[in-house]
Amino acid sequence: MKIFVTRKIPFWDAEIKPLVDAGHELVVRTENSAISAAEMKAELAKGYDGLLTLLTDKITADILAGDTNKQLKIIANYAVGFDNIDVAACKERNIWVTNAPSDAVNESVAEMAWTLMLALTRRLNEASEFMHNAAYTGWEPGIFMGSDMKGKTLGIVGMGRIGSMVAKRAQGFEMKVMYHSHKPMEGNEFEYKANLEDLLKQADYITLHVPLTPETTHLINGKNLPLFKKGAFLVNTARGPVVNEAEVAEALRAGMLAGYGADVLENEPHPQAELLQMENVILTPHIASATTTARRDMTKIAIGNLVTALAGTAPANMLQ
């Protein structure tokens, strides 16, 4: 069977043996950039049984339209999130859609959330830039004073697998943990807040771990930003549009937030311009899961989903 891969992924050469052994024909796009809708549609018109996509590849109902796509059996998304794919449209066409979650990926994202929280509270980006600019002339007792995390309150928005891992690490800092989700999590000893506003008013650190849905788009916005506890830090390693970046910038400018750290952007790859000018903002280029262990796991999972589906068996990590 024939498989189209939109871009070669990490550890591809080391992990493709199962696809090769199964006798599948692999067409791997050589460009190291996101594929356009027009190019995707034209490529799929050639007729493929499997498709491996990245989160930057948009799969819409329009792209899937046409008789040639009737042979498409599976779209294996090389990501945990899947807001780049119209899953409902795929289901209508009997196309399986899978993602690539793993504990290694979850651990990496949880660690990144903590990296951003620690860097913000200790002003590491400012201090590093200070050093790179050769501005350091000697120790001073009041230079780049930050905040302590011990004993503070951590608010987790979305207590799924990643949120739970973030919460466990908070115990090492002797922090109080509270969380907001659709419902309380069974077996969870942390304080549940049914109303997001209650969490925002009490937490010193708020970290976001929700999927991108119509309900979570601009979950953090100009209406609830004034409710944040004075001196609070906000971290986003979920999806960029979960926050309204322009309104976060306004809140930072007004002193409603002490700092903002994000590994994801509302309009990737372009951050809100004002955020780039702020010293109490740390932005990273969507690298939360960019560890060798996580990436290799993702590659194995995505390839395994393709092999299983093209053998006629429902794959793991099905989204329909």
- Domain parsing of the chain, residue ranges: 2-99+292-310, 104-283
Give the amino acid at 22: A
Task: Report the C-alpha gap between 139 and 307 in whole angstroms.
Answer: 59
Residue 77 pLDDT > 90:
yes
Which residue has tokens 């460009």? 31
Per the structure block, which two tokens stand in for 2? Answer: 């024939």
Q: Please give the positions annotated as active site.
A: 239, 268, 286
Beta bridge pairs of residue 122: none
Q: What's the helix, strand, coil split of the chain in %, to 5?
A: 35, 15, 45
- 104-283 has the same fold as 2-99+292-310: yes
The count of residues in the chain is: 320
Nearest to 162 by CA among 92, 66, 235: 235
Nearest to 244 by CA among 269, 280, 271: 271
Which residue has tokens 């994801």? 264
Nearest to 160 by CA among 116, 197, 207, 221: 207
Residue 52 pLDDT > 90:
yes
Confidence of residue 206 (pLDDT cuts 50, 70, 90): very high
Q: Using one digit for the tens of pLDDT, what is the confidence trace for 118-168? A: 999 999 999 999 999 999 999 999 999 999 999 999 999 999 999 999 999
pTM of the model: 0.92
Superfamily per CATH, domain 104-283: NAD(P)-binding Rossmann-like Domain (3.40.50.720)
What is the CATH code for 2-99+292-310? 3.40.50.720
Task: Report the C-alpha gap between 51 and 26 in whole angstroms.
Answer: 10
Residue 186 pLDDT > 90:
no
